Amino acid sequence: MTILDGKKTSADLKLEIAESVKQLKLQGKKTPHLAAILVGNDGASMTYVGAKVKACELVGFNSTLIDLPEETTEDRLLQEIESLNNNDDVDGFIIQLPLPKHIDEQKVLMAVNPDKDVDGFHPTNVGKMTLDLPTFLPATPFGIMELLERYNVETSGKHVVVIGRSHIVGRPMSILMSQKRKAGNATVTVAHSRTKNLKELTLQADIIVAALGIAEFLTGDMVKQDAVIIDVGITRVEDASKKRGYRLAGDVHFESVSKKASFITPVPGGVGPMTIAMLLKNTLLACKNKG
């Protein structure tokens, strides 16, 4: 069994990105600049945004964090987006999700200039991804593809079961893996909350991508011998033995599943760190696209 080490792979990627930044600077070109908008004070969102800003510093990007209060109106947020759209120094920006309930997420994501949409959530970029045109791939699926490629995991002709159909993970993952690309050419089944015979499906899968957000949902009896397991889930589970009162759990019951898996991503240290690295990669691309 091989661990698909997202921590190490993302560190390698960050070194590569830092080297590209150095080259850009040597050529007298612009330093990539990522901005992030955070609305409210959700603990997990603050942690994620903090990690993204820190990663920017590490690779030599400029970064800006726009920290808005929970009661920010939709209009005010849209103004902030417009100003980032018009700011020539900002190459790409993200709006940390989820947004407070009084803000229409779709309207907000639609307002981002697709050329600066380094999360790849704008319909223009989702459309381009679906048509296999060059674009910003959403960071989490992009990170999974990168991990599969770097570990030379065979995907061609394999049966992939993706559990979850969200716009940011499950759906794009299913599209990418069915495309003609290195970590692609797979036959894909998308399972979701209405799927009836999930265990029957997962037992047929050569590769399982678990992205449903239920701690330790996928257990050893649900996977076949030598399956490749990608665990996207991150759930905070109460744990009195930890100083912070919780531990992070994936969607996979690691102990039982890892006994059967040929490759498996751990949580933490698997898909999570890759997501941030791919956001940096998209920002570098946005900067280079500007010429």
Q: Which residues bind ligand NAD (CB under 6 A)?
A: 140, 163-166, 168-170, 191-193, 195, 198, 211-214, 232-235, 271-272, 275
Q: Helices (DSSP H) in 60-195: which residue ranges?
A: 74-86, 105-110, 123-130, 139-150, 170-178
The active-site residue out of 5, 91, 117, 119 is 119
Query: Regarding beta strands 246-249 and 235-238, do their DSSP bridges make them parallel or antiparallel, or are they unpaired?
Result: antiparallel
Residue 242 annotated in active site? no
- Cross-strand pairs, 67: 38
Give the nearest distance from C-beta 99 to ligand NAD in angstroms: 13
Give the nearest distance from C-beta 70 to ligand NAD in angstroms: 20
164 is in an annotated binding site: yes
Give the nearest distance from C-beta 21 to ligand NAD in angstroms: 23
Residue partners of 190: CB distance under 8 A and separation at least 6: 162, 165, 170, 171, 174
247 is in an annotated binding site: no
The active-site residue out of 52, 91, 116, 206 is 52
Give the nearest distance from C-beta 245 to ligand NAD in angstroms: 18
Nearer Cβ to ligand NAD, position 49 or 169?
Answer: 169
Nearer Cβ to ligand NAD, position 24 or 97?
Answer: 97
Reading the block at residue 106, the tokens are 């779709």
- Point out the residue whose Cβ comes nearest to ligand NAD: 166
Whole-number Å distance between alpha carbons of 228 and 151: 11
Whole-number Å distance between alpha carbons of 141 and 125: 14
165 is in an annotated binding site: yes
Residue 96 annotated in active site? yes
168 is in an annotated binding site: no
Asked whether the bond before 268 is cis by omega within 30 degrees of 0, the reply is: yes
Q: Are 155 and 177 in contact (CB under 8 A)?
A: yes
The active-site residue out of 5, 14, 91, 96 is 96
Nearer Cβ to ligand NAD, position 30 or 192?
Answer: 192
Classify each residue of 23-55 as buried b or exposed e, where b means 16 or more C-beta atoms within 10 Å of its C-beta: ebeeeeebebbbbbbbbbebeebeebbeebbeb
Residue numbering of the annotated binding site for NADP(+): 164-166, 234
Summarize the annotated binding site as residue ranges. Answer: 164-166, 234
Name the residues annotated as catalytic.
52, 96, 119
